[in-house]
Amino acid sequence: MRKFWLKSLNALFSLIMKHRNAAVYFKNVLAGAAFVVLFMLMQSCHNEPNMPRPRGYLRIDLPQHEYRLFDSTFPFRFEYAANARISFDDYTKEGRYWLNIEYPAWKGKIRLSYKDVKKTSLARLIEDAHAMVYKHIPKATGIKESTVEIPAKHVYGMAYDIEGNDVASPFQFYLTDSTRNFLRGALYFYLRPNNDSLQPVIDFIIDDIDHLMATLEWDNHR
């Protein structure tokens, strides 16, 4: 009987120790797991997700709008941006009164071409100007037309805002007095078209073009 109780006590003690060791082991496992989870949470707070970022563009600082007068031997005069410069194409009979308003800082230019309505049909000139705009349709997302009418100066025409990231010329226009003078203008950039990034510059130059059109005067005595 004594041996029986001794065996029973030994078995009970072993069972207690077994469960005690299991509890300690389980407690250690929980502590280790909690440490791992806490470490991962801390890392996720400091590390940014590995996701592709959209390409950024440099900030473009734009000057205040200031203008100067272009008044030469040409049959027209106008005001253009003070931060731009005038350049002339090589002289040809057809391009005698053609010129460029260049923006060196942004590698852009407004190309102006002049025609004498008495030597060419006005309808043909308007048709050609229209065709030059709509040849950009394959890459354009939209073309907005606006009418130009300044009766006091006998200036009439159309302006075209050509939308689209890849269009080569985002803005064009033509002006005429319908009897003698016809002036066409187109904005271009000397770089690969990326008009989303250039949009602030495009908008800035379009404001300059609006000013040019508003200040244009014909000089039929030259």
- pLDDT tier, 6 (very low <50, low <70, confident <90, very high otherwise): very low
Q: What is the pLDDT of residue 3?
A: 52
Locate 93 and state its tokens.
């009979």
Give the C-alpha separation, 63 to 60, whole Å: 10
Task: Give whole-number Cα distances, 203 to 181, 195, 198, 200, in Å.
Answer: 27, 10, 9, 5
Q: What is the pLDDT of residue 7?
A: 53
Q: What is the pLDDT of residues 92-125, one digit of tens each?
A: 566 789 999 999 999 999 999 999 999 889 999 9
Q: What is the pLDDT of residues 170-182, one digit of tens each?
A: 999 999 999 999 9
Contact between residue 68 and residue 80 where contact means Cβ atoms under 8 Å apart = yes
Q: What is the pLDDT of residue 56?
A: 43
- pLDDT tier, 22 (very low <50, low <70, confident <90, very high otherwise): very low
Of 53, 77, 54, 57, residue with least CA distance to 67 = 77
- pLDDT tier, 89 (very low <50, low <70, confident <90, very high otherwise): confident
Give the C-alpha separation, 90 to 192, whole Å: 25
Q: What is the pLDDT of residue 5?
A: 45
Q: What is the pLDDT of residues 181-208, one digit of tens each?
A: 999 999 999 877 676 788 999 999 999 9
| Overall pTM surpassing 0.85 (yes/no) | no
Q: What is the pLDDT of residues 41-81, one digit of tens each?
A: 555 554 444 444 444 444 678 889 999 999 999 999 999 99
Architecture of domain 67-218 in this structure: 3-Layer(aba) Sandwich (3.40)
Of 222, 216, 196, 219, residue with least CA distance to 54 = 196
**By three-state DSSP, how is residue 87 classified?**
strand
Residue 20 in this model has a pLDDT that exceeds 60: no
Task: Count the residues in the chain.
Answer: 222
Residue 144 in this model has a pLDDT that exceeds 80: yes
